Amino acid sequence: MAFCAGARLNGIGFGTWSWGNQLVWGYRPERDDAQLQATFRQALASGLNLIDTADSYGTGALTGRSESLLGMFIAALPASRRHQLVVATKLAPFPWRLGRRGLDQAFAASGQRLQGHLHRVQLHWSTARYAPWQEAALLDGLADRVLAGDVPELGVSNVGPCRLQWMHHHLNQRGIPLRSVQVQFSLLSAPSLRDATLMAFCRRAGIEVLAYSPLAFGILCQPPGARPRANTVLRRRLEARLLPASEALRGALQGIALERGVSMTQVALNWCRAHGTTPIPGLRCPSQARDVAAALTWQLTGDEVNLLDGLRRSCARHMPENPFLSD
């Protein structure tokens, strides 16, 4: 995937997967909710206006918690500020959500939790691997919501170039632009022809590529020599797998960061931007919001991007992919 010097860089948004997730992120409402509201306010004050969530974010009884928190936080803003936000949620195509009307109840529930502050609805993943006959019906159901004026924009997530091209063509026949596609993309995601093909198609079609997990669960923010320190078992296991494999890469990230007087986080995010994506890192505290937003003030050189590209290719292990990712 070639870096184009002088190309216009995309912005940065933020994700809210951790807001309500106890299993992976150790969320506790009594401890975290006030800090998350402060994080939200700092992110907006720093110019981060694209917010990603999903109806499945939150574990167990807390499913939907991310949307509920966002709805409350946005409702507390002045009306003029609310209108500047792009709030995007993803609806999960669970096997029991059947047919063209299969996502209607989920869409309505998300709208209630978000208190009506929804700008883009997204299909969370493709059903091509387990129920290919469902995909057109579910996509048409979301398109119906756009045509009815219930939501302005439509996007998709976890789809490869083949499914994306089909979806784009299908929606184009109905006069609906496909606004964005979310893919797992970071210095620790494996380079692939699939990614290069998808990026090239998106450039031609005017589809924004949203890079989720751009910091690889925070691995790319940790200096060389770091040891697993996450507060949940799942993340500690991931750190134990990925920290040794990424030592040289993180050393280069740290070197660029020190030379420029910035954070490793900013270097990793600007690598994503240099490759034509809009990274949407998760935020859990105000200092993270300030750090992420600071990446918008500078960009990597072509030599720096090429250095990181080479080290990325040499990593022996990579981030695990979503099992529902389609071709």
- Residues carrying an active site annotation: 57
Q: Which among 277, 305, 280, 276 is positioned nearest to 213, based on CA atoms?
A: 280
How many angstroms separate the CA atoms of 89 and 67, rounded?
A: 8
| Burial environment of residue 227 by CB neighbours within 10 A (0 to 12, 13 to 18, 19 or more) | exposed
- DSSP string for residues in 214-265: TTTTTGGGSPTT-----SSHHHHHHHHHHHHHTHHHHHHHHHHHHHHT--HH
Rg (CA), the chain: 19
Euclidean distance between the first and final Cα of the chain, in Å?
18
How many angstroms separate the CA atoms of 313 and 188, rounded?
A: 9
- Residue 251 is encoded by which pair of tokens? 């050393």
* b/e per residue 309-327 (b: at least 16 CB within 10 A): bebbeebeebbeebebbbe
